[in-house]
Every structure is written in structure tokens, then in C-alpha cells.
Structure 1
Amino acid sequence: MTRELDGIPGWFWPADQRLFDWFLSRDDRGDLLELGCYLGKSAVLIGRHLRAGERFTVCDLFESGSGSGSGEPEAGSYKELTRERFERNYLNHHAELPEIVHGPTSVILDHVEPGSCRFIHVDASHLYVHVRQDVDSARALLTADGVVVFDDIRSEHTPGVALAVWEAVSTLGLSPVCLTTQKLYATWAEPSRLREELLGWLKGQDDLWHTVDPLGDHQLVRVNQRKKAAQPPDLKRVTADLMKVTAELRAATREVSESRPVMRRAVGWARRLRRR
């Protein structure tokens, strides 16, 4: 999947792609929702897991939210975000578009049924007041065992996201399950079974590093992409290269040695001509 998504701009790292696949492949039933889609990188992956009878809804301001009036400090970074580009990227991988709500995420409760979503990805505004509203919307829209994923939970330029999400953990009963470099995976259900299933899967994933940390009354699984080990040098190739260089140096040395008598004679002739 990573290679398929490489051509779509966006910040959706391989470890999170793997985790999305796992969470979305679970046996739960329900609809899918993404609040904030940028150019479709994560939406394309989510759409791969849409099952018969389910709905996939995407909500975004698109180009209407890219100006300085949006209130986002980095709004200018999204000038290339247009609905047309999102739709083109999505249709490069899927036959049909998801249901698109072109507007602020504050209207999502008018378009999605409460208690209908098994998976929600929140990657919209970074402002506390908006994220707090997205938290409330996710709580209302999730099924009893549904999973919500919050992006930019750890970025230095998005403290409003961190405040709103950890506040939900502290005061609204949100249970954190898994944390990556960018995202928090959480649920309002009792999390122990989900956590154990995740840990069982992670044990078989050699490319993913993980650990479990206590977090107050919670146990938080931290996951990251394991760095690839440096490949040992190809000794046969290195030896062949050294032999080639050695042979070239020997040939050059012979050429210099053979040219010395000629050079000495030329110098002698030059001296005799100067004396004349």
C-alpha cells in the first residue's frame, strides 16, 4: 500500500498506514468517516476497507479554508488543497468517490447518523475550539466499540490538538490505545481487549517497533517504524573494485617509469640548446 500512496502528497507515515490497515480490517461493523482529508492520501487507504452496506464520508473545507481568514496559523500551507485535486487522487485508486461534505467539520452531525461509525480519522483544524468540537462529534458518531484516530497529537505547531484530545482522556472517558509519532488511536469502549489484539498482531511485525507504557490508569502502546539495519558490504564486489584500482595504479606507475629516460634525454637536449 505504501508504494501506491507515494504519489499522493501528504503526511501519512508507513507505521500509521500499517496501523490503519489493521484497525480497519477488524471484524467490527459500521461506517467510516474522515474529518479533514487534505489531498486524499489517508482517504484512499480508508476507502480500501469499505464493506458492502457501509458508507464512507469525508468532510473538508477544501479551497474555501486555505486563506488567512480560516484562523489556522499555517493556512497558507494548504493553498494546493482543492476538492478537484482530492477527487482526482481518490478516483485514481477507486471507482467511486466517498460521500463528500464540503464544509466545516462542525456540520458533520447533520450528515452522519449518531452511533454509526466504526472508524473515524480526525485530521482537520488544529485550533483547540475546533478540535474540542471534533472530539464531541466523534464521541457521538462512533459505535460502541468504534475507534477514533487523532492526527498531529505530538506536533509542536498543534498544541490545540494535544490539549483537546488529552482533555478528553482526562474528563470524557476517552481511552488511549496506541500512539505513533503523529497520531493517537483511542476508543470510548473498554480498551483492554483491543489493546491485547493489537499487541498480538505487533509481535509478528518485524518492521514495527513497539512498547507499552503506563499512562495513569491506562496502558499505552507506542509504535514506530523500525529503522532498517545497514546492509553488510558485498565483499566480493569490494575486493574486485580494489583489484581493479590496484591494476590501474600499477599501469600508471609503469607508464611513468618508462617515460623517465625519454624525459631525461629531452631535458639534456634542452640544456645543450641553451648553451649554444
Structure 2
Amino acid sequence: MATTQESPRPPRRLDDVPGWFPVLDQLLFDWFLSRQVAAGTRGDLLEVGVYMGKSAIFTGRRLQPGETYTVCDLFEGDAPDNANRAESTKSYSRLTRSVFEENYLSFHDELPRVLQGPSSVVPDEVEPASCRFVHIDASHLYEHVYGDIGAAHDLLLPDGIVVLDDFRAEHTPGVSIAAWEAVLNRGLHPVCLSTQKLYGTWGDPEPVQRELLAMVRQRSDCRLSVQTAAGHRIVRLKSNGMEAPPFPPSRHATGPEEPARVAPPAPAAARNGLGQRRSRVRRVAVDLLPPVVTRALRSARR
């Protein structure tokens, strides 16, 4: 008998969207983007590499009137080279543009501007010095990340923020090399590090670091470490039982949550069989134990 494959349920909460966007980074995205809005900074938003849309959905909430939000991803398109094609096939085979768009429209009325293709198309599609916030989470290969960082430098406003994902993961050495090379040789100033993202600017990092440190030191749910390396102040942050910042539910969250499914009790025959096996184990154990221990066990059972 043929069966039809059940389509995935639309997301009700941000956590229902597959992807990697830890609570600490949700807090930091919210803080950086809110700080820009409070300071009257205007500029476009850009995300390179969106997967299923989790961080893009979050970032889209901070888009101001008159600004443009652009996202770029290969989706199911062709990769520009064999190494990128192998990476995409291994890690992102489930990603399609339609899945991203459905997830995004579950939380927003309109889609962002979507560029389908390699990240190398971004410089030709986004105006130089037009962005206030750029999130790079695309290929993990060194040559692609190097190019993405260079593009971010050209597209950001003087005090704009760039976020580099997976800068320290063991399976992404290309990102690590490109990120720290940008710090040492390309003028990027690290503002802070989370568990998996580096937040930086080509502007003056001191004012934003000062405000960030003041905010973090008032919280008990964020661990803080400050170090100095190669002339840079390195602010390291780690969640300590942190809860995600409030985020509006999707338009699908109109009804009550489905009750948790409880596994049905095992059939009586299975329970009896398990009990019989346990009884046999007890008898063998009692036969093998010293008499003094055997008497104690029998007394306890009685």
C-alpha cells in the first residue's frame, strides 16, 4: 500500500526552525542591532549563508523603514567549484530556497531581497558602504571566507558590525585562518567573541566595547573574560544559563501546542517476560554471592 510523505509542520516558534543560532548570539544580535537603532544609525542589513533561515528571521525584526535586507545563499543551485560543491552536498543537502522562504514568511509579511548564488555575487548586488550589519555564515573554505570578509569591508559603513560564524570550530580551520588573518593584516578589530561567532568592526572598537562590557557586567547569566592579544582587547563571552530574548511567535502559533506524546505501556507479555528475566538474574546472583550477602538480600526482599 502506497504511503504519502507527511509535509513538515510550519514553525510556530523560532526554535522550531532548524539551524545553529545559540541563545548568546541571539542576545548579541539583538544588542548590536538595537544599539544601532538607538544611536540613529541607518543602513542596510546583509546575511551571507542563511540555511533554513533561523538567524535571518531574527535579524529581519530589526529592519527599519527605508532599509534593505539582503540574504544570499546557493540554496539548491550549483556551487562555483568542486570543493564548495562537496561541502554543500555534505552539509546542506536539505536546503532549498522554498524551505527558507516558507520559514521566513511564517514570521514576516515580506521576504528579504534574496540572491541565489555563490557569495561572490554579493559585491555586484549590494552598494558599497551601505550596510550597518553583515552576518557571514556561508562556505567554510578559506578562499571563500577571505572573499566574504573583503566584501564585508567594502559594504559596511565605517562603524558597521561584521559577524563571522564558526571562527573557532574544529571542522572549519579555513574560517579561523581567514578571520584571524583579517584581524592581524586587514584592519579588522574584534569587538567580542561568543562560543561560535566573532563580532568585529573596521571602525573604532572602543566605544562599542565599553557599552558592551557595561551591559554584560550587569548580567549574572553571562560569563566574561577580557584578554589582550597582538594589541587587541579580546572580550570573550559565554552563556551561563541564559534565556533567549523575547521573540514574537509565528503566524502559525494561533492554537495550543500539541501535547507531548507519551509512549504507550509495554504489552503485558513483554512486561511479564522482562519480569521473568529479572527473576532469573536475581536467582543466579543469589546463588553466586557469599551466604552472608545472600541472607541479607533475602531479608531485604521479604
Report TM bin, short chain: 0.7 to 0.9
Mapped partners of 2:14, 2:134: distance in 1: 20
3-state SS, counterpart of residue 16 of structure 2? coil
Instruction: Map 1:123-202 onto structure 2 (within 5 A).
Output: 123-202=137-216
Q: Distance between the aligned counterparts of 2:67 and 2:149, measured in 1?
A: 22
Going by fraction, where is helix more abundant, 1 or 2? Answer: 1
| Paired letter, 2:18 | P
Structure 2, unmatched stretches of 5+, are: 1-11, 243-302
Deviates more, 1:69-78 or 1:126-135: 69-78
CA–CA distance in 2 between the matches of 1:68 and 1:190?
37
Report the residue type matching 2:121 in the other structure. V
AA partner of residue 240 (structure 2): R
Output one character per residue of 1:42-61: Cα deviation in whole Å (capped at 9) or x when no partner. 00010000001110000100
TM normalised by structure 2 equals 0.72
Find the aligned partners of 1:17 and 1:77 in 2 and give their Cα distance: 23
Corresponding residue for residue 76 of structure 2: 63
For the pair shown, the structure with the greater C-alpha radius of gyration is: 1
Paired position in structure 1 for 2:284: none
Question: Which structure 2 residues correspond to residues 1-276 of structure 1 after superposition, within 5 A?
Answer: 4-26=13-35, 27=39, 28-65=41-78, 69=82, 70-73=84-87, 75-227=89-241
Would you identify which runs of 4 or more consecutive aligned residues in structure 1 move more than 6 Å? none
How far apart are residue 204 of structure 1 and its match?
2.3
Matched length = 226
RMSD: 1.7
Measure the CA separation in 2 of the matches of 1:68 and 1:189: 34
Q: Is the 8 A contact 1:67 1:76 kept in 2?
A: no
Q: Which has the higher contact order (CA 8 A, sep 6+)?
A: 2
Q: Is the 8 A contact 2:78 2:85 kept in 1?
A: no
Structure 2: distance between partners of 1:13 and 1:115: 29
Q: Which runs of 5+ in 1 are unaligned?
A: 229-276
Q: Secondary structure at the match of 1:63?
A: coil
